[in-house]
């Protein structure tokens, strides 16, 4: 898996496809963290919500880097189809970590004196959102949807459901709690567990369907 | 007879399309070279992907787990990565150490003569996406050979390679066969199949049948050994060429043999041997 991760990072690095979503995310942070007197949790809610979009965008881009024949060549070395999908998801998750740290660190710098427990809960919230974003992106990616236009349309629809629909209990309850400036540590732990489970299901289903179609 | 890999009554269909393969059975034994002949769209690539374990049959069984190398028909070199770095990554993914991966990658790139052709003056080695089709195919062949495969599966490996690379590929096939590896490749030209394969099959209408002797052999070929010929010379009727120092060994179709000999003498080469292949 380490070798596959190194390969994924090399592909992403050479392609520079990580730059547009990363720049958009940093610009969003610059717009969010402007008022030192504003409450921190609602700002974390917007930042974490933006990380769902970032993770989804980067996952779609990462899985688009290899065309189907090149993916077969990689598979002939890795042997297990699920290892290919898992390595892409892990690479995106690792790429989300510095952005989550940047967001939390930015909040600490702007507001000053933010308790460590609040920063930790904020990190958990960002982690849950990164997991949810990757889980949403996998079935919308080139592995299952061959046309980029359909990928964008399905990913936007799925992101809208996950972020805005109250009945989808992945990160929406967490973001709502944070938006109300309420205590959200418990919600964040629950959201991490739910999003990680959703990502595991997404990985398994996407990998199985892609293998079946090959 | 021991087999490396067996397919039994394999069928494959994509969605509601008509079946591509319809009950294909095939045994690949160690040290045997198998060629699958077929036209465009006959299902050769699908069959080879199933053999390589990269596609699932709709029904039927695939038995055997040899160490595999796979070369697709069109190696997609669209990456900005350099060939040596790409091969090192694939080597590591397959379980080799970084040192082993790099050493083997360098060996195959040198053997396939990619070191000299894939560099751009002072800039050093160029990116995969800048390689010509033939050089990209050589990178594809190198990655298939990285792990010293027990079964080498190649989809139209001779397409896109220049004449000298044909010779190197022929050498590699012969070497792997001597070392007891199984080789399966697809082709649409009967003469190449007859030249390199121990068993030739024809894939038609989704069924695999042994190819007839005439069908497999195509034209009669002659082996012509020259001294002092230009290694880059590529006369009409040439099938393959192997160069060793000053000595050049050509495989030519019988219909062009006299013309090739005449042209060789006119170009100042000396004919040392002509024999029916």
Q: Is the pLDDT of residue B216 over 50?
A: no
The closest CB to that of A75, out of B54, B80, B92, belongs to: B54
DSSP alpha helix (H) spans, chain B:
44-51, 83-93, 98-111, 114-117, 133-145, 163-178, 190-196, 213-217, 257-266
What are the angstrom distances between the C-alpha of B111 and each of B34, B69, B144, B178, B185? 24, 17, 14, 18, 20
Test the B interface: residue of A73, A75, A78, A83 with most B CBs within 10 Å: A73
Q: pLDDT, tens digit, for every residue of A50-85?
A: 999 999 999 999 998 888 888 999 999 998 888 999
Q: Is the pLDDT of residue B240 over 70?
A: no
Pick from A212, A199, A213: nearest CA to A88: A199
DSSP alpha helix (H) spans, A64-115:
68-78, 81-111
Sign of the dihedral through C-alpha B70, B76, B77, B79: negative
Q: What is the ipTM of this complex?
A: 0.82
Residue of B101 and B216 predicted with greater confidence: B101
Note whether B143 contacts A10, CB cutoff 8 Å: no
Contacts of B146 in chain A (CB under 8 A): 77
pLDDT-based confidence at residue B122 (cuts at 50, 70, 90):
very low
Q: Is the pLDDT of residue B220 over 70?
A: no
SS3 content of chain A, % helix, strand, coil (to 5): 80, 0, 20
B113 CB-contact burial (10 Å; exposed 0-12 / middle 13-18 / buried 19+): middle
Please give the Cα distance from B137 to B3 (Å, whole number).
Answer: 29
Evaluate whether B167 touches B243 at the Cβ level (below 8 Å): yes
Q: Is the pLDDT of residue B218 over 70?
A: no
Mean residue pLDDT of chain B comes to 82
Note whether A6 contacts B75, CB cutoff 8 Å: no
Contacts of B81 in chain A (CB under 8 A): 10-11, 14
B179 CB-contact burial (10 Å; exposed 0-12 / middle 13-18 / buried 19+): exposed
pLDDT-based confidence at residue B123 (cuts at 50, 70, 90):
very low
Which pLDDT score is estimated for B221?
Answer: 72
Please give the Cα distance from B113 to B153 (Å, whole number).
Answer: 22
Question: Based on C-alpha coordinates, what's the Rg of chain A?
Answer: 17
The closest CB to that of B80, out of A15, A72, A77, belongs to: A15
Note whether A69 contacts B69, CB cutoff 8 Å: no
Q: What percent of chain B has pLDDT over 70?
A: 91
Which pLDDT score is estimated for A73?
Answer: 92
Q: pLDDT, tens digit, for every residue of B30-88?
A: 888 888 888 777 888 999 999 999 988 888 889 888 889 999 988 877 778 888 889 99
Evaluate whether B68 touches B229 at the Cβ level (below 8 Å): no
pLDDT-based confidence at residue A134 (cuts at 50, 70, 90):
very high
Residue of B76 and A31 predicted with greater confidence: A31
Pick from B101, B73, B71: nearest CA to B89: B101
Test the A interface: residue of B93, B148, B150 with most A CBs within 10 Å: B93
Which pLDDT score is estimated for B42?
Answer: 81
DSSP alpha helix (H) spans, A112-147:
116-140
pTM: 0.77
Q: Which residue is closest to B80 within chain A, CA to CA?
A: A14
Running DSSP on this structure, what letter comes out for residue B150?
Answer: S
Q: pLDDT, tens digit, for every residue of B175-208?
A: 888 888 889 999 877 777 777 888 888 888 888 8
Q: Which residue is closest to B76 within chain A, CA to CA?
A: A70
Note whether A214 contacts B55, CB cutoff 8 Å: yes
The residue assigned the tokens 């060789």 is B264
Q: Which strand ranges, in their side-by-side order, compose the sheet holding B59-63?
A: B21-28, B5-12, B59-63
Note whether B93 contacts A3, CB cutoff 8 Å: yes
The closest CB to that of B52, out of A4, A11, A76, belongs to: A76
Write phi, then psi, for B62 (nearest 5 degrees).
-125, 120
């Amino acid at each position: 898996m380490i070798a596959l991760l190194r390969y994924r990072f090399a592909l992403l690095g050479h392609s520079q496809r990580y730059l547009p979503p990363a720049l958009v995310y940093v610009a969003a942070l610059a717009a969010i963290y402007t008022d030192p007197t504003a409450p921190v949790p609602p700002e974390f809610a917007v930042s974490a919500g933006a990380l769902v979009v970032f993770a989804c965008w980067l996952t779609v881009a990462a899985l688009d880097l290899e065309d189907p024949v090149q993916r077969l060549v990689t598979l002939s070395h890795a042997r297990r189809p699920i290892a290919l999908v898992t390595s892409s998801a892990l690479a995106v998750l690792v790429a989300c970590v510095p952005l989550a740290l940047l967001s939390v660190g930015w909040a600490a710098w702007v507001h000053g004196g933010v308790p460590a427990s609040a920063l930790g809960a904020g990190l958990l919230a960002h982690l849950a959102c990164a997991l949810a974003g990757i889980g949403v992106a996998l079935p919308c990616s080139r592995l299952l949807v061959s046309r980029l236009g359909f990928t964008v349309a399905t990913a936007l629809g799925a992101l809208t459901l996950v972020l805005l629909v109250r009945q989808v209990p992945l990160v929406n309850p967490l973001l709502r709690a944070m938006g109300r400036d309420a205590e959200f540590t418990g919600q964040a732990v629950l959201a991490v567990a739910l999003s990680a489970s959703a990502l595991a299901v997404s990985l398994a289903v996407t990998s199985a369907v892609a293998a079946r179609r090959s | 007879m021991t087999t490396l890999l067996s397919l039994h009554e394999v069928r494959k269909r994509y969605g509601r399309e008509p079946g591509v393969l319809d009950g294909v059975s095939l045994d690949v034994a160690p040290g045997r070279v198998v060629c699958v002949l077929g036209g465009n769209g006959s299902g050769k690539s699908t069959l080879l992907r199933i053999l390589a374990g990269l596609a699932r049959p709709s029904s039927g069984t695939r038995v055997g787990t040899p160490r595999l190398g796979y070369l697709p028909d069109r190696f997609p070199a669209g990456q900005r990565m350099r060939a040596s770095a790409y091969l090192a990554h694939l080597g590591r993914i397959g379980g080799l150490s970084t040192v082993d991966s790099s050493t083997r990658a360098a060996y195959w790139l040198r053997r396939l003569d990619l070191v000299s052709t894939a560099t751009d003056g002072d800039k050093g080695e160029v990116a995969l996406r800048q390689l010509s089709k033939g050089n990209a195919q050589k990178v594809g062949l190198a990655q298939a050979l990285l792990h010293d495969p027990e079964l080498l599966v190649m989809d139209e490996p001779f397409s896109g390679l220049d004449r000298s690379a044909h010779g190197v590929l022929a050498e590699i096939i012969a070497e792997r066969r001597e070392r007891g590896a199984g080789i399966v490749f697809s082709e649409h030209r009967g003469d190449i199949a007859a030249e390199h394969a121990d068993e030739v099959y024809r894939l038609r209408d989704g069924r695999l049948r042994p190819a007839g002797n005439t069908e497999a052999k195509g034209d009669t070929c002659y082996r012509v050994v020259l001294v002092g010929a230009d290694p880059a010379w590529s006369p009409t009727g040439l099938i393959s060429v192997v160069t060793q120092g000053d000595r050049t060994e050509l495989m030519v179709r019988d219909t062009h043999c006299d013309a090739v000999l005449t042209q060789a003498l006119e170009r100042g080469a000396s004919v040392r041997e002509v024999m029916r292949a």
